[in-house]
Structures are given as C-alpha cells and as structure tokens.
Amino acid sequence: MSKMDIMVHLSRHEGLPNVLIEAQYMGLRVVATPAGGTAECIMDGVTGRVLPTCEEPDLEQAVAYVDEFLDQPAEDGLFAPGSPAAQFLDTNFSVARMLGNFATFCADKGAPVMQNPLADGKNISVL
C-alpha cells in the first residue's frame, strides 16, 4: 500500500473492509463499490468516492474518479492529525473506539468488564 496513490476496491460482497480504513489512515484516497459497510468508512467526495452500485460497477466511473484524484492531488494535511478526515477515522474506527464498543456490548449482555488505562491516559473498558 505504501507505493500506491489511490486504492480501488471493487467488491460485490463485503463486510466492513478494513483495507479501506487502513488505506485512508495511510493517506490514500479510495474508490469503492458500496458493498456491505463500505460507504460507512468513506467520506464521499473527501477521502474517496463510492460508486452507485456493486452489482455491476461502472468501471468508466471508477476510472473517472481515479483520474479526478490524480488530476487534483489530496490537499496537504487531508489526513493530518486533527483534520476532519482524521477525526472521522479516529471517531469511527480507532482501536480505542472498537474496544470501547465491544466492552459496552459485553457489559450490556452481563459479561464482566474491567477498566484498563490506554497509553494516552484514557480509560477504556476491556474484557
């Protein structure tokens, strides 16, 4: 991924594609079909583009989006810490967020949880 300029992900069936989240964390814009939870992990028009359908993806549209991104490179700092794109990713897909959601789910089901401090000083519930 470190050698890429843009990530293209044309999937028909998908869960939540971690590869697209990872690509954006690495500063890549993405072009993808809306399979599964794909659209949830992209700020359409900002961090990437979501094609209209995954059943028969419009490859010409995908290429047009790639051309658009190549013609207009991402502004400096698009994914910089504190930027809207970075905040979107951190708010929705950080490890701390995922662990917190999982611990909340477990606690809601009556499973025991405990508090562990993270390296940044925040507390999060983990099993």
Residue 89 forms part of a structural domain = no
Residue 86 forms part of a structural domain = no
Which residues are within 8 A (CB) of 100 and not within 5 positions of it... i.e. 6 or more apart?
124, 125
pLDDT in tens, 91-109: 998 888 888 888 888 889 9
CA pair distance 82, 88, nearest whole angstrom: 9
* Domain count across the chain: 2
Q: What integer is the mean pLDDT of 32-57? A: 93
Same domain, 63 and 14: yes
Query: Domain range spanning residue 52?
Result: 6-75
Average pLDDT, the chain: 86
pLDDT in tens, 3-39: 888 999 999 999 999 999 999 988 899 999 999 999 9
Q: What pLDDT is recorded for position 117?
A: 46
